């Protein structure tokens, strides 16, 4: 692959046509000035060492040298060669609950932000493991496919909010199925980390966990919230205007469902931990995932581009040096060389 690092410098090539016009104009002026002394052919005979061709050649050399300098300033680069690098690691997908109940503030600043912090903390412990992101509420979606780009993962993670999914609820089973599909046919050890308050109202999450375990995928659960629970804030824009109420006008209290999260983890051959205000709950999960067998896989990378400007600058310098060595006037030897015989043929 080829590219120019600074293509804007190519505009300097527009100087060459201008220089050509100026050179032609100067030559015409010189001819006109010499013609004032008499017939131009006779005047040129009085200047045997004068060489128009050498001046044209020197001008061409300077023009080509300038073109090479400009191309060098644009910095041609080659590279972008696809390389395969072997790595060893585990594939894991974080399934993050973004339902409205995750905005409860029994854990500061709220459950969702605490869940993001837990994932970020776990990312800091990973090395060569591929991670993906799934978000879920009433439905689940792959937010980011498997990657080793942890910076991109953090960027995607920072933008997650409950407004991203129009269908509310907590479909943990659907999230497990979506997470399992994100692995594809990889041979690595696989793990799903469900981070939620556990208020599952949509499906049979334990059946989905057992199905994933049957495919060799371990399911871990991290519970976000406190047993006593908290009300669900209601916002208008960025301003909290109250708390969610049921049909009877009673404030809804959302509580973590630890027994169900434990059952899901057990069905998925994983473990359950709980995050609270003092711990993120990821250390035990990380220790278990770190024990999984790390399989080798190939990952594609693009090599860095390499600068090639030095070749153009070197060529320009060689041309300039050659131009300096070319004299403006004919030498004695050149004056004796005649390619054509100008003597007219006389009839006998």
194 and 220 inside one domain: yes
179 and 326 inside one domain: no
Which pair of structure tokens corresponds to residue 41? 């052919």
Structural domain of residue 23, as residue ranges? 2-79+306-336
Asked whether the predicted pLDDT for residue 230 surpasses 80, the reply is: yes
60 and 123 inside one domain: no
62 and 91 inside one domain: no
51 and 197 inside one domain: no
Q: What is the pLDDT of residues 161-171, one digit of tens each?
A: 888 887 888 88
Residue 195: predicted pLDDT: 93
Identify whether 342 is part of a domain: no
151 and 263 inside one domain: yes
Identify whether 346 is part of a domain: no
Residue 170: predicted pLDDT: 84
Measured CA distances, 247 to 161, 214, 251, 253 (Å): 26, 42, 10, 14
307: exposed, middle or buried (Cβ count in 10 Å: 0-12, 13-18, 19+): middle
Identify whether 345 is part of a domain: no
141 and 254 inside one domain: yes
At 343, the pLDDT band (50, 70, 90 cuts) reads very low
Q: What is the pLDDT of residues 104-162, one digit of tens each?
A: 999 888 999 989 988 998 888 888 889 999 999 989 999 999 998 899 999 999 999 88
Q: What is the pLDDT of residues 264-277, one digit of tens each?
A: 999 999 999 988 76
Task: Flag whether the pTM goes above 0.75.
Answer: no
193 and 264 inside one domain: yes
Identify whether 343 is part of a domain: no
Residue 216: predicted pLDDT: 92
Distance separating alpha carbons of residues 343 and 345, to the nearest angstrom:
6
68 and 122 inside one domain: no
CATH number for position 280? 3.40.50.410
55 and 110 inside one domain: no
94 and 238 inside one domain: yes
- Local structure of 230: helix, strand or coil: strand
Identify whether 30 is part of a domain: yes
Angle ∠(49,51,55) on CA atoms, nearest 5:
140
Query: What is the rounded average pLDDT for all residues in the chain?
Result: 83
88 and 151 inside one domain: yes
Residue 108: predicted pLDDT: 87
Domain count, the chain: 2
Asked whether the predicted pLDDT for residue 311 surpasses 60, the reply is: yes
DSSP letter at 98 equals -
Q: What is the average pLDDT across 43-54?
A: 63
At 341, the pLDDT band (50, 70, 90 cuts) reads very low
Helix segments in the chain, DSSP class H: 15-35, 40-45, 52-74, 111-123, 150-158, 172-181, 205-214, 258-267, 282-290, 309-325, 332-336
Residue 143: predicted pLDDT: 93
300 compared with 52, residue with greater pLDDT: 52
Identify whether 347 is part of a domain: no
């Amino acid at each position: 692959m080829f590219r120019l690092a600074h293509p804007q410098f190519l505009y300097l090539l527009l100087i060459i046509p201008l220089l050509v016009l100026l050179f032609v104009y100067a030559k015409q002026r010189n001819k006109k000035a010499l013609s004032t002394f008499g017939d131009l052919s006779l005047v040129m005979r009085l200047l045997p060492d004068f060489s128009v061709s050498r001046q044209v050649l020197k001008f061409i050399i300077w023009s080509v040298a300038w073109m090479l300098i400009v191309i060098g300033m644009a910095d041609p680069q080659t590279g972008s060669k696809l390389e395969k690098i072997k790595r060893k690691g585990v594939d894991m997908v974080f399934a993050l609950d973004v339902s409205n109940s995750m905005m409860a503030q029994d854990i500061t600043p709220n459950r969702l932000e605490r869940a993001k912090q837990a994932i970020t903390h776990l990312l800091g412990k990973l090395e060569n493991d591929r991670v993906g992101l799934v978000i879920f509420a009433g439905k689940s979606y792959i937010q980011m496919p498997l990657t080793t780009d942890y910076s991109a993962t953090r960027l995607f993670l920072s933008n997650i909010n409950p407004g991203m999914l129009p269908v509310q609820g907590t479909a943990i089973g659907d999230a497990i199925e979506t997470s399992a599909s994100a692995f594809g046919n990889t041979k690595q050890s696989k793990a799903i980390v469900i981070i939620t308050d556990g208020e599952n109202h949509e499906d049979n999450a334990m059946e989905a966990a057992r199905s994933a375990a049957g495919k060799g995928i371990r399911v871990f659960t991290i519970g976000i919230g406190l047993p006593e629970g908290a009300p669900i804030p209601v916002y208008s824009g960025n301003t909290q205007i109250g708390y969610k109420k049921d049909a009877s006008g009673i404030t809804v209290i959302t509580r973590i469902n630890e027994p169900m999260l434990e059952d899901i983890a057990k069905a998925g051959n994983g473990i359950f931990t709980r995050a609270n205000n003092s711990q993120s709950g990821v250390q035990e999960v990380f220790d278990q995932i770190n024990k999984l067998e790390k399989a080798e896989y190939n990952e594609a990378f693009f090599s860095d581009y390499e600068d090639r400007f030095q070749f153009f600058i070197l060529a320009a310098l060689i041309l300039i040096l050659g131009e300096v060595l070319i004299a403006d006037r004919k030498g004695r030897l050149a004056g004796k060389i005649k390619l054509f015989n100008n003597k007219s043929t006389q009839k006998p």
